[in-house]
Amino acid sequence: MSTNNNNSILSSIGTEIIGIISPVSICMLLVVLLVYSQSSPSDQPIRTAANLIYQEAPSDSTSQKLEGSLLNAVVFIILIALVTFLLVILYYYNFTGFLKNYMRFSAFFVLGGMGGTIFISVIVRFSLPVDVFTFVVLLFNFTVVGVMSVFAEGVAIPIVLRQVYMVCLGIIVAAWFTGLPEWSTWSLLVALAVYDLVAVLAPGGPLKILVELASSRDDDLPALVYEARPTVNGNGGGGRGGFGFLVGGVSSDEVEGGIEMSSRRGDVGEGVDGTDESDDTGETSPLVRNVRDGVRSSYSGSSGMSRGNEIVENEEGTPLSAIMGMEMEPRSGDVREEEMTRGIKLGLGDFVFYSVLVGRAAMYDLMTVYACYLAIISGLGCTLILLSVFRQALPALPISIALGIMFYFLTRVLMEPFLVGTSTNLMMF
């Protein structure tokens, strides 16, 4: 019986899904902890691009809130759409260098400015004994390494570090967004899910154009995406097949070892015309576009720190889609194969808004947190399964957000009275 552990198919199936689910879970967990640790909801509401029009006040009537928050959401989406189109245009005309530097700048401000604010609030909350100089030096190092690892070219950065920083960026931005008032959050999430759907799937949608452009140029997607490395262990082949399997019969000839392909990546990179983007490790390039906005927001006033200021946060316009370089296509072109070696990619924006939803749920009760977490993860699972069916970039927000919001309200309205009623009587089943 002891032999089973190694070669049973159970240990190889579903590796990719877990590779995406675990960072998302970590991100949500940390955001929830952050929300809990800042027990008193922020004294003064933050001002961001997400609530330009209407400042929600608890005293307003429901219809006022609804109307105002819808307006806010619409304005925010329009902003995001504009920025995304701008990026697409820049990318179309090959302003890659500008885009990358812009992204670096943004990452620097997200990590240093918004991240610094969050660190400070944590330090204050737990009265950690840290002096200013140490803090500044540490923060600076953290930020610089982050910028390098996210956008590095020519520097060998371990993929793990990249992944860690991606999750950090997600956490920081999401923690910032949890400062939005309740109604605005909900309508913002719904609006983003719809926008994501349109932008990725509709013909002419900016994200669709971007993805197509990138793949026609054999280039990495110029956006901040979290990349799950395909597991490079003995089971590599089985693993990816396993993913296909989860999806319902995929013919086995598509199950090919990903490993030998990785060796070809080098050449592929050189084949790319834009010289600057050919990095030897294919992974470094996929940087960036998205964050840019995040950045702009925050930086826009270096105001990362001063809450009252107007911070335009449009973060992630782009990255919302689960962009997926699906690995299983057995096409012959080199480029394809390069894609095959990539794992599943998930836009940073998805991380952020999943976490915003869970963070918002955390302000109500733990019960809603668990329900939303499960709903989002199962939505993500559905998206991944659809992905392996359709083999094209899919929006990751709509299903998850819809399920998440549905479960939040179901839990809040239906389940809570039931559970509290039974369990305070010590009745369980």
Partner 1 sequence: MTVSGGIGYVLLALGPSLTIFITLISSKPFLILTLLSSTLVWLISLIVLSGLWRVFLPLKTTAWWPYVILILTSIAFQEGLRLLLWRGYKKMEDMLDAFADRAAKPRLYLTDKMQIALAGGLGHGVAHAVFFCLSLLTPSFGPATFYVDKCSYAPFFLISAIISLAFVTIHTFSMVVAFNGYAEGNKSDQLIVPAIHLVAGTLTLVNLISGGCIVGIPLLYVVALSTLAYCGKMVWRRLTETQIRLTPQNQ
| Contacting residues toward partner 1, per CB under 8 A | 1, 4, 7-15, 17-18, 21, 237-238, 241-242, 245-246, 248-249, 252, 255, 365-367, 370-371, 374-375, 377-378, 381, 407, 410-411, 413-415, 417-429
- CA-based nearest residue to 232, from 263, 254, 258: 258
**CA nearest neighbour of 327 among 234, 232, 398:** 232
In the complex, the smallest distance separating the C-beta of residue 423 from partner 1, rounded to whole angstroms, is 5
CB 160, min distance to partner 1, A: 18
- Between residues 9 and 138, which has the closer beta carbon with respect to partner 1? 9
Q: How far is the CB of 66 from partner 1 (least distance, A)?
A: 24
Closest contact distance (angstroms) between CB of 175 and partner 1 is 20
- Choose between 227 and 316: whose C-beta lies nearer to partner 1: 227
Q: Which residue do the tokens 């020519």 mark?
A: 154
Q: How far is the CB of 295 from partner 1 (least distance, A)?
A: 34
Interior angle at CA 244, CA 242 and CA 247, nearest 5:
110
CB of 258 to partner 1, least distance (A): 14
The residue type found at 187 is: S
What b/e sequence results for 41-56 when a residue is b if at least 16 CB atoms lie within 10 Å of its CB, and e otherwise? eeeebbbbbbbebbeb
Cβ-based nearer residue to partner 1, 238 or 294: 238
Q: Which residues are catalytic?
A: 196, 350
Cα separation, 257 vs 240, whole angstroms: 8
> What separation, in Å, do the N-terminal and C-terminal C-alpha atoms of the chain show?
35
Question: Between 18 and 75, whose beta carbon lies closer to partner 1?
Answer: 18
At its nearest, how many Å lie between partner 1 and the CB of residue 18? Answer: 4
Question: How far apart are alpha carbons 202 and 209 in whole angstroms?
Answer: 10
Of residues 7 and 306, the one with the C-beta less far from partner 1: 7
Q: Of 239 and 325, which has the nearer Cβ to partner 1?
A: 239
In terms of CB distance, is 15 or 303 closer to partner 1?
15
Taking every pair of C-alpha atoms in the chain, what is the biggest distance, in angstroms? 70
Q: Which of 24, 25, 16 is nearest to 324 (CA)?
A: 16
